[in-house]
Amino acid sequence: MIELDILFLLNWIIDYLILVLVKNEFFPEVKRKRLAAGAFMAAATYLFWLCQKGTVSGNIRAVEALFFVSLVLMWTFSVRSPAVFGRAAAAVLMYAFLMGGFCYVLRNTFAKELEGVPAQWWVPAGCAAAFCFLKGVGKRIKKEAVKIKECIYEVEIRRKDRAVCLRGLYDSGNLLVSQWTGKGICVLSFENAAELFDEKEREMLSFLMAQKDFPWKIMTENLWSGIYRITYSSVGKEEGWMPGIAADHIIVKKDGEVLADTKGLMGITDRQIFHDQRFAVLLPADIFAKQT
C-alpha cells in the first residue's frame, strides 16, 4: 500500500514529465515553473478524485476526471482553441499510455529482482525510462523537421503571361537534367501546373501522359507545340519518360527573398510526386547555381 504523500509525489513527477513532453510538442513558450504548478494541480486533483472511490458514483467520477484533466491543460498551457486543446489532450493520453506500458514491461521483465520492492520505486523508474525514450524520439523528429524546413521554398513559375505560386522542396539528389541544355529540371504534377497551359496544351499533355512510349510521329508533326521528351531512370525500374515544357521564369524565394530566377524545363507528370501534400514542386540540384 502506498502512502498518500508518496502517491502525491509520484503523480507530481509523472504529470510533470508528461507536461514537459506536451510543452515540447505544442507549447515551447511555456515556462517550466508553470509546468511544475500544473503538475502540482494534476497530482492534487488526482488524489481528490481517488479519495472519492466508493462514496461517489462512477459516472460522476468519470465526469470529474474529464473536468480535472481539461482544467489542468487549459490552465497550464492557456489553451483557448478547441483544435489545439484536442491535440494536446490526445498527446497527454498517448504519453500516459506509453508511460504506463513502460512501467508494466519494467515490472514484468524484472519481476524476480523486484520481488518485495515497493511500487513507488518501479513506477517512477518506468516513467523516467519512457520519458527519456520519448524525448529522444522527439528530438530526432524535430531535427528531421528542421532539416526539411530548410529545404522548403516558395516557387513562382511564369510562362506566356501565366503564373503559379507553389511550395517547392529542394532535393540535392534530384539530378534530372535536360538533354539539350544540361540544366536541372523542375518536376511538378499536371494538376498543379495546369494553369500555365492553354486548353490545347492541356489536351496534348493529357494525351502524352496516357502513352506508354513517346509518340514521335505525332510530335514531329507538331513541332510547334514546344513539348519535349524528358527521360529518367530509377533504381529497379525501366527507363521512363515525361513531357517537358519550357518556363520563362522559375523564381525561387525564401521568406520573400529571391534566391534564384532562371529559365528552364518543367517535367510534367500525372503521378504523385510527394506523399506529403505540403509540397508541389521538386527542385533540381543545380537550381541555385549561378547562370552563365
Sequence ranges of the domains in the chain: 4-149, 151-283
Binned at pLDDT 50, 70 and 90, residue 235 comes out as: very low
Instruction: Tell whether domain 151-283 is in CATH 2.60.40.
Output: no
- Specify the pTM: 0.51
Residue-wise pLDDT tens digits, 50-106: 788 778 888 888 888 888 888 888 888 888 788 888 888 887 777 676 555 545 444
Check pLDDT > 70 for residue 118: no
Q: Which of 7-21, 134-148, 246-260 has the highest mean pLDDT?
A: 246-260
Q: If you average pLDDT over residues 123-151, what whole number do you get?
A: 65
> Could you give the CA distance from residue 148 to residue 56 in angstroms, rounded to a whole number?
52
Going 14 to 16 to 22 to 24, the CA torsion angle's sign is: negative
Check pLDDT > 60 for residue 110: no
% of the chain surpassing 70 pLDDT: 73
Residues 6+ apart with CB under 8 A from 12: 39, 40, 42, 43
Check pLDDT > 80 for residue 113: no
Residue 292: the pLDDT is 47
Q: Classify residue 278 by burial, with Cβ atoms within 10 Å: 0-12, 13-18, 19+.
A: exposed
Contact call for residues 266 and 188 (beta carbons, < 8 A): yes
> Could you give the CA distance from residue 154 to residue 84 in angstroms, rounded to a whole number?
27
Binned at pLDDT 50, 70 and 90, residue 156 comes out as: very high
> Could you give the CA distance from residue 233 to residue 173 in angstroms, rounded to a whole number?
13
